[in-house]
Amino acid sequence: MPAHTDTTIKRVKARGTLLALMFAAGFLVIATQAVSLQVLKQGWLSRKAEVRFARSDKVMGKRGTISDRNGRPLAVSIAAKAIGVYPRKAAAIDNVPQAARQIASALKMSRKEVERALRHPKYNWIKRPVSPEMGAAVAALKIPGVEVHPFHKRVYPSMELAGQLIGASKIDDIGGRNGLEYRYNDILSPTTANRTVKWDGTGKPVDIESAPIEKISGSNLVLTIDANIQDIAESALRDAAVTHKASSGMAVVMRPKTGEILAMANYPGFNPNNFGAFSGETRSNRAVSADFEPGSTMKVFVVAAALDSGKVKRSSIFYCENGAYDIGGFTFHDTHEYEWLSLEQVIKFSSNIAVVKISEIIGKNALYTALKDFGFGQKSGINLNGESRGILTNASNWNRVETGAVAFGQGVSVTAVQLATAYSALANDGMLVKPWIVKEVVSPNGEREKAFSSPGQKRIISPDTARFVKKIMASVTEEGGTGVKAALTGYTVCGKTGTAQKIGPDKRYFKDRYIASFAGFVPMKNPELSIVVVLDDPRSGGYYGATVAGPAFREIAYKTLDYLHVAPETESIPEKLLLALKSEEKK
């Protein structure tokens, strides 16, 4: 073999060996780096990736639900979105007006409003809450600094139903504005937790780490309210107010044995979904916050106190001065010229003069004590904010005229819930039960956290006295009684009408403005419902409690008894009473 060929072969082998060594060295370097990256620097690389492809922020749970006693939701929080702007990132927007137009189109806003938000020097919200669809539309625009955040929107699915009672929450779903939303804000409010979102190279989220929503959501409230009975009460109250052109009205339906509030209605209504469209007065729960002079609905308590004192007998009769009774230059009047009336007739015909004389027999101090025992002049203790005490001045300040006026419900003021509570005591054989409206607190995962019950009972009159007063009250809705329009077929209604003059800003009574009311309970033998209906300043079709509030009481009672399947006490209404009812309806 020639020498040069041998030399060439040696050179080729040397080059092959060199290349092999170079490849081997390169592989060794790559392998070493791989081992270093995968083993020695794994934690460092993970941290670098997380810095680039992961972000931590805060996530908030859902506000607790408010529902009626049967689980019907009255206030819920639903998934929504919030659109915010980070000013430092938004500085990278090339064409702010164009970006503003795109966002405004997606959110149905004005371009100028969005542009102001994009140019704002601090972090701010463009709009919240918005629907998930709107949030997705904004996210798809991929505008620097504009971010879509998870949010919750408070919704009141029944709209005006129990609006003043439920109240409304603030936009952030944390703070309550009024009603139960405000009173139980600490229970309903959610908390926040850290959330980490990891993204892939294309910008899509691949992993989200956060606390379970149940752990950071607010607890739920279950009420004693029955939404069906609430609807019955609101409809009857609204019809009466519209028919008689009353400025406002209230109605309370209560279980006398337990103190549970089944309905608490206000007119005009309030829709919490549109908080700002209503005045502060309309938003307030007047059934607990507004006090009024009760008029003749107060007379039954005077009679009860007199009987319980022993100074007045069941057989007592009273001379009613033919309709005019003078005390120290002031004359009390009856609507009719009565002579002698029995105790039953005093209530049936609603004699002011007889009740004034009864107050004189028992004395002002005993009258004051009795009214305090029935809960007047003090808060009822219901678990609601804004409750008024009403007005019951100390008896030491009363003269003879003032004592007489208090006896028939003038010069004293009460709330609708106070009146319902006091009438429930008569229904409950003399036991006063405090009213309550929240039944239980339930955790986000459905476990009962706290159960409420009646705050307790207190005897204020003897059972015998209460039962006799019930019989007297039943005569009010019988033929010839002032409350015949509140009578029910098949049930005995125990009630009392009330008509009181309104007081003006100058502390003088208006001559043509009144508070009309009807209060009572049904059925007489085993009372299931105590109901109070109050209409403020009726201007059409009369102003007497019997005419204005009586029919609303009857409608609420009849429909509620039917809904609760309460069996009638009698087969049919007496023929005389049926004829009397028809006669009254024609008037």
* DSSP class per residue in 463-495: HHHHHHHHHHHHGGGSTTSTTGGG-BTTB--EE
Q: Which of 217, 219, 289, 296 is catalytic?
A: 296
Q: Say what the pTM is.
A: 0.82
- Is domain 227-270+289-564 classified as CATH 3.40.710.10? yes
Domain with CATH 3.40.710.10 in the chain: 227-270+289-564
pLDDT at 65 over 70: yes
- Residue with the larger pLDDT of the pair 173 and 66: 66
3-state secondary structure 265-299: EEECCCCHHHHHHCCHHHHCCHHHHCCECCHHHHH
- Per the prediction, the chain carries an average pLDDT of 85
Q: What pLDDT, on a 0 to 100 scale, did the predictor assign at position 98?
A: 85
Percent of the chain at pLDDT above 90?
57
Q: What pLDDT, on a 0 to 100 scale, did the predictor assign at position 107?
A: 86
Secondary structure (3-state) at 15: helix
pLDDT per residue over 104-128, tens digit each? 888 888 888 888 888 888 888 888 8
pLDDT at 92 over 80: no
Q: Which residue is associated with the tokens 């003006």? A: 504
- Helix (H) or strand (E) holding 343, with range, is helix 343-348
Mean pLDDT confidence for 126-140: 85
pLDDT at 531 over 60: yes
pLDDT at 203 over 60: no
Q: Is the dihedral of CA 473, 474, 477, 481 positive or negative?
A: negative
Mean pLDDT confidence for 318-330: 90
- Is domain 57-223 classified as CATH 3.90.1310.10? yes
Contact 127, 153 (CB under 8 A): no
Helices (H), 120-246: 132-141, 163-166, 179-183, 185-188, 213-216, 227-243
Residue 296 a catalytic site member:
yes
Q: Which residue is associated with the tokens 């109240």? A: 167
> Per mean pLDDT, which range of 56-60, 386-390, 421-425, 512-516 is the poorest?
56-60
- Residue 11, beta-bridge partner list: none
Q: What pLDDT, on a 0 to 100 scale, did the predictor assign at position 126?
A: 84
pLDDT at 209 over 50: no
Residue type, 315: S
pLDDT at 387 over 80: yes
Spatial neighbors of 124 by CB under 8 A, at least 6 apart, are: 84, 85, 117
Q: What pLDDT, on a 0 to 100 scale, did the predictor assign at position 51?
A: 47
Domain with CATH 3.90.1310.10 in the chain: 57-223
